[in-house]
Structure 1
Amino acid sequence: MKKTLFALALAGVFAGAAQAQSHVTVYGIVDTGIAKQTGKDTYMTHNYESSLGFRGTEDLGNGYKAMFQLEHRLNLNDGTVYGGNPDIDWYGGANVGIGTPFGTFRLGRVDELPTETLRTLDPFNQDSIASMTLSTQRSTHIDNTIRYDSPNLSGLQIGATYSLGKNTKGSDRDNAFARAGADNDGYAGSVLYDNGTVTLLGNWSRLADSNKSYIWNLGGAYAWGPLRLSLAYEKTHDKGWYNAERSLSENSGVADSSLINGVASKMDNWILGLNYRIGQGTFKAAFNYVKVKDVNGMSLADGGNYWNGHSSADLKKYAIGYTYDLSKRTSLYGMVAYTDYENEAISNFFNGSGYNEDSVTGVQIGITHKF
């Protein structure tokens, strides 16, 4: 934590020094609340991830500009680093780039395109107890990445990323990950059209070091007056490490059970959303349907006995919520969500071993301030 505080203080010094030659913006979100779910004690959580960020630009002339972003994220309820990894100081992003008349190029840790775009079709922003169930092959941010964003052409934008995988040469060559053959570079493409009334989007993504797993999604929204309706579909092919280990064993006769530490699966994910503005507040509702099939690699303790005898299982999630704006920056929120799991196996799949509730009801309230 001391390292994090030092990094934040150092960034503040740099931001002050940079004011004379470039534009630097300090921004962030502080959010926390209380939630209660079936099978869990009451706990504190968030509706938006709390963050403190620095964003800067410098005009280079002729339509070119330099830019950077440093964003720290934290759990406001206890002050710990968000994501559970104290070695990542800038969990929300750490990148530098060049803006040109032909688009923007950034290098470093950046937002993942499918998450950045598809979450706009979830009334609950893919966060909180009410958000849609996320694919096993989605990540909010991705490392070691080159990202390109095209100019906005009357609402149309195209994005692309290329991410470097783990080093599998030299001293890293014999690690289990490399021997399993699960290492790969990652890349993604995104198309987004948004004119304020109509939103249409599509993404294809392969995360780095995912055994060449991939997802694709499509969605759209239509808004008239205070009402906005949205619909999205996402398909996931998660190859896990299990298939890589099995292929390695069958082809070379090498058996190494330590490599079976991932779960292969396929997932179909639908979400239907509604936002309705009422005075200073917004009513939200969503229905999320998920079907998981072809699961391979789960232990018996995690419901593997069910998956070995059945091809698929599903869940249905219903959510409603209300956000009341006290001002342009501060809001109060409340939400209720009910998830109906077809069986304990799919409950284990998303919640982990030991959480065997076949239906879960959750309630959450809290406060958000943006600056």
Structure 2
Amino acid sequence: MTHLFKSLAIPCSVAALLLTAMSAHAQSSVTISGLVDVGVYRGFDKTTQLGTIQRSNIAFNGVEDLGGGLAATFKLSHRFDLDTGLQEGVGAKPFWHGESTVGVKGAWGSVRLGRALDAVWANDWAYDPWYNFNRIASPAWQYWHYNYTSDRTSNNGSPEYGRLSNGVFYDSPSFGGFAFHLSGSFEDSIGPDGGTSNNLGLSLNYDKGPISAMLAHSKNSSEDTVTFVGGKYTVGAWSVMGAYDRSKFEGAVDAIAKVYTVGTAYRLGAAEFKLGFGRLDASGAKSKFLGVGADYWLSKRTSVYVSAGRNNPSEGASTTAYGVGLAHSF
């Protein structure tokens, strides 16, 4: 009889381990998402090519239930060029260029540690018809944060225009439509005046019903600054939006850029039409930008689109770009 109990103990312990593993699996998940995009376009440099108009990326998101209303999170996001299969900006940007964070979230909000978009760049996209995501037609892509980088030397000595490495990121829950977002780094670096400084950004957002608004400010470790104000109103199939951006590059001679953009989008069945205009004054050098485009959704995840943009500086020749592309999200 003792021998029988011993023989039964082995499969019972295995079953217990399997049940524990299955329980843990049910409390955690990993999802894969991203976008693949490619188009044929004539760029502002007057060359025609097959390549990226938007951004191709793949992301791994993980969540584990810790109990008590808490959950652990992680995100790893890689960007690449679909036409060649190469890493975007290979040789300069890190492999997990999009984001590489781990954190904890609960009813009080979420905290992430690692590399991610700072508080300004992570939230400004809502105030551009192309979500600051189209290098041909988007006035935001061309002009926003003109003299500001999140870190001047983040990518092996080259500037990083949106993401903060070695960062801490906090996103609050919504309070009656209001939420705030913080980003910063505890690591001091030497500024242009010889002193030490670090990165700190704050964004206050309102999203409720047809109204969306944002007020944000950020300072990098070189003491460059950016201030951003955005607003959007949606009624039926129409969305109208506008933004003001002021960015300052701290140096021997400070460079200040002021940007105004307005845009609209109209949804008609499976199609969406977009129009955007921007005006830039960068330390007296002025320029205007006009973007137009249309997306046609073949399904909830797949679209074909056309984009065109014209940059008209106060000095020098105007340049035009246009193209057609195909995008699929997953």
TM-score normalised to structure 2 length: 0.83
The correspondence of residues 201-350 of structure 1 with structure 2, limited to 5 A, is 201-208=214-221, 210=222, 212-240=223-251, 242-243=252-253, 264-293=254-283, 312-344=284-316
Deviations 1:36-67 (A, max 9, x none): 13542112333431111110111111111110
Kindly indicate whether residue 319 of structure 2 is the aligned counterpart of residue 360 of structure 1: yes
Q: One-letter code of the match for 2:58?
A: L
Kindly indicate whether residue 205 of structure 2 is the aligned counterpart of residue 192 of structure 1: yes
Kindly indicate whether residue 181 of structure 2 is the aligned counterpart of residue 159 of structure 1: yes
- Distance in structure 2 (CA, Å) of the matches to 1:316 and 1:364: 20
Q: One-letter code of the match for 1:327?
A: S
What SS does the corresponding residue of 1:85 show, helix, strand or coil? coil
C-alpha contact 2:147 2:256 (8 A) present in aligned 1: no
Moved more, 159-168 or 128-137: 159-168
**Structure 1 residue 319 displacement after superposition:** 0.9
Deviations 1:285-310 (A, max 9, x none): 001000011xxxxxxxxxxxxxxxxx
Change (3 A) 1:97 1:156: same
What SS does the corresponding residue of 2:197 show, helix, strand or coil? coil
- Distance in structure 2 (CA, Å) of the matches to 1:180 and 1:153: 40
Structure with bigger helix share is: 1
What SS does the corresponding residue of 2:299 show, helix, strand or coil? coil
C-alpha contact 2:211 2:232 (8 A) present in aligned 1: yes
What SS does the corresponding residue of 1:362 show, helix, strand or coil? strand
Structure with bigger strand share is: 2
- Distance in structure 1 (CA, Å) of the matches to 2:195 and 2:55: 30
- Distance in structure 1 (CA, Å) of the matches to 2:286 and 2:92: 35
**Structure 1 residue 342 displacement after superposition:** 0.7
- Distance in structure 2 (CA, Å) of the matches to 1:97 and 1:47: 32
Deviations 1:181-239 (A, max 9, x none): 3763100000011114100101100123x2x0101011101010000000110111111
Change (3 A) 1:283 1:92: same
What SS does the corresponding residue of 1:201 show, helix, strand or coil? strand
Query: What root-mean-square deviation, in Å, do the aligned CA atoms of Structure 1 and Structure 2 show?
Result: 2.0
**Structure 1 residue 83 displacement after superposition:** 3.1
**Structure 1 residue 153 displacement after superposition:** 2.1
C-alpha contact 2:192 2:250 (8 A) present in aligned 1: no
TM-score normalised to structure 1 length: 0.74
Match of residue 70 from structure 1:
76
- Distance in structure 2 (CA, Å) of the matches to 1:87 and 1:205: 22
Runs of 5+ unmatched residues, structure 1: 1-17, 169-177, 244-263, 294-311, 345-357
Percent of aligned positions with the same letter in both sequences? 30
Q: One-letter code of the match for 1:142?
A: L
* Rg comparison, structure with higher value: 2
Which among 40, 46, 56 is matched to residue 34 of structure 1? 40
Moved more, 155-164 or 280-289: 155-164
C-alpha contact 2:211 2:234 (8 A) present in aligned 1: yes
C-alpha contact 2:147 2:248 (8 A) present in aligned 1: no
C-alpha contact 2:288 2:311 (8 A) present in aligned 1: yes
**Structure 1 residue 86 displacement after superposition:** 5.6
- Distance in structure 1 (CA, Å) of the matches to 2:286 and 2:123: 25
Runs of 5+ unmatched residues, structure 2: 1-23, 150-160
Moved more, 108-117 or 227-236: 108-117
C-alpha contact 1:266 1:292 (8 A) present in aligned 2: yes
Change (3 A) 1:148 1:321: same
C-alpha contact 2:294 2:307 (8 A) present in aligned 1: yes
What SS does the corresponding residue of 2:46 show, helix, strand or coil? coil
**Structure 1 residue 166 displacement after superposition:** 6.2
